[in-house]
Structures are given as structure tokens and as C-alpha cells.
Amino acid sequence: MTAGTVHSWKVSLHGGHSSAFCDHADSPLEEIIEAAIAAGCPIYGIAEHAPRVEAHRLYDEERAMGWDLATLDRMFTEYAATLDRLIPRYADRIMLLKGFEAEVIPEDRYVELMLGYRERLGFEYIVGSVHWVAGEIIDYRQEHYDRAVEACGGIEGLAVRYYETLAEMARRLRPEIVGHPDIVSKLAPSEAAVSTPKARAAAMAALEAVREAGCILDVNTGGYRKGFGRPFPAPWFVQAAHAMGIPFCFGDDSHRAAQAGAGIREARDYLLGLGVPTITALMREGGEIVRRIIPLSPDF
């Protein structure tokens, strides 16, 4: 698998959430992989959510299905073992990468937990995402988001706290990829509400931490299906990161087969329109994960 492969920029490194391992996913993992192949992805990173380890973090839907913390831990171990079987099975059709999406909870020990999962289960890379701020999940339901706003003293306070948490995660966890880096805007009343001068200053400090940690920023196509008309992050964020020399990758954040590879062509045009000419892909060479810069043109 080389950078010269046709459609080689159709690389997603954040997605593959599947029904066997995620309560809010709809398709089996192999259906998602087949869809990624059909979409022309030569490299596809699977990054299922890490398990939560505190009972009060369980989702209502999980409780309704009778899941508990042991269920989440068991499924995550099964997920890792499943990828170990599927990677060689599909090797002649697609390069699958074995990753997971980290959580920033519990706040006092998530780094130890996430690095422990990586070592124990043999993961090749981490997508570091911030879903929890001030004890609330901010991309799940509006009432949780609103509670986070209240806890942070207002919408601007939430944005600042989000970017501070993102910066801390980048410095401490040093993931290969930072996931959907302005997801704080998803449930905000407007983009302007979370991009005030104070919020942008916090975002710039987070980007500096991302740059120093050597992370790649996820251009997450989930924004299109959420009605944003763009991926995450926003244009101002992309341009600031690009000016700092921070690389980008694509993530379809797929939770069903129809989403595998979806939005990547549009995200490519989005980056090109903002003056970003390349993405940085992870790929396996000689048994090791390496980075390769891939041009976003010509169009295939």
C-alpha cells in the first residue's frame, strides 16, 4: 500500500464504531470495513471508544440494555481480539489499522488507563478526544451540554474549559490523532458563542500543545451529517493550525456502514479551499506504524 495508490487521500483514521462494541452504532464491523473498501479507502483506521470505568458515566441506553462496567470492559477486549483477526483477513483488500478513541475520564487517572489499554491490548495508535467537560458529556444530549454550560459559568466558559482540557490531553496522553477538535460547537446555540476572543485564545493555546505533542488533527466528516455544512473543525481553527504547521487527517467517525468513507471528498475540497494541500496518513510498514504525507490533488 503506497501513497501513489488511486484515491490514496481517501484515508480515514477515526471511525469504525460498530454494533458489537458500541451501544450507539448500527452496523457490524465487517459491514463497515466492506463499505470502506467500496468507498475506495486504501487505509482505514478503526478506533472504537475506550470503556468508561465509573458507573455514573454509563449512558441511559446502556443501562436499559443491562450493560455494566464489566460489559464495557469485556467488549473492548473482544474488539481488540476481533481486529487482530480481521487485519490479516482483509490485508489484500485494505490496510486496517488497530486504534481506539480515548476518554479524558476519570480526570485523575485517564492517562494511566488509556496507555494501559494500548500496551495490554496491542493497539497501534490512539485518537485522543474530549467528550467530557466539568463532569458532563458534551456531544450526547442537549441537557448534558446545558449542565456543562452551567457548571462552567456560561457558554464561553465551557468553550474555554473544553480547549484547556484538550490541551492537557495532548500534553499528557500524546495521542497520534486529536479527534474532532472543536466538538464543543456541536450542541452550542451558535458557532459564534464558542468562538469568542477568549475561547479562540484558549483554542490557540490548545493548538500549541497539539503542535508540541506532534499530534495530527482529525478533520471529522461527522459535521456534514450533523447539519454543519462542514467537517469539524471550523475554518478559523483549520487555518490557525495550518499556520502553525500542524498536520491533518480525515476521520469519517462512522457508526454504520453507510458512513464509512462518507464526506471525505467534501472534506478534501474543504481543506484545499482553506489552503491545506496535504493530509498525513498513518500506515503500517515493516510491522511499524509510520506517517506519510499525501497530496490532496490531483482529483481522481
278 in Cβ contact with 296 (< 8 Å): yes
Q: Which three-class secondary structure state does DSSP give residue 291? A: strand
Note down the domain range covering 87.
29-289
Question: What DSSP designation does 277 have?
Answer: -
Instruction: Let me know if residue 8 belongs to a domain.
Output: no
| ω into 106 cis (within 30 of 0) | yes
pTM over the 0.85 mark: yes
Instruction: Let me know if residue 295 belongs to a domain.
Output: no
Instruction: Let me know if residue 21 belongs to a domain.
Output: no
CATH of the domain at 117: 3.20.20.140
Instruction: Let me know if residue 92 belongs to a domain.
Output: yes
Instruction: Let me know if residue 186 belongs to a domain.
Output: yes
100 in Cβ contact with 50 (< 8 Å): yes
231 in Cβ contact with 270 (< 8 Å): yes
Instruction: Let me know if residue 40 belongs to a domain.
Output: yes
What does the pLDDT look like over 29-68, one tens digit per residue?
A: 999 999 999 999 999 999 999 999 999 999 999 999 999 9
Instruction: Let me know if residue 11 belongs to a domain.
Output: no
Instruction: Let me know if residue 53 belongs to a domain.
Output: yes
Number of domains into which the chain is organized: 1
Per the listing, cell 484547556 goes with 164
What does the pLDDT look like over 143-181, one tens digit per residue?
A: 999 999 999 999 999 999 999 999 999 999 999 999 999
Measured over the CA atoms of residue 219, residue 220, residue 223 and residue 225, the dihedral's sign is: positive
Instruction: Say if residue 299's pLDDT is above 80.
Output: no
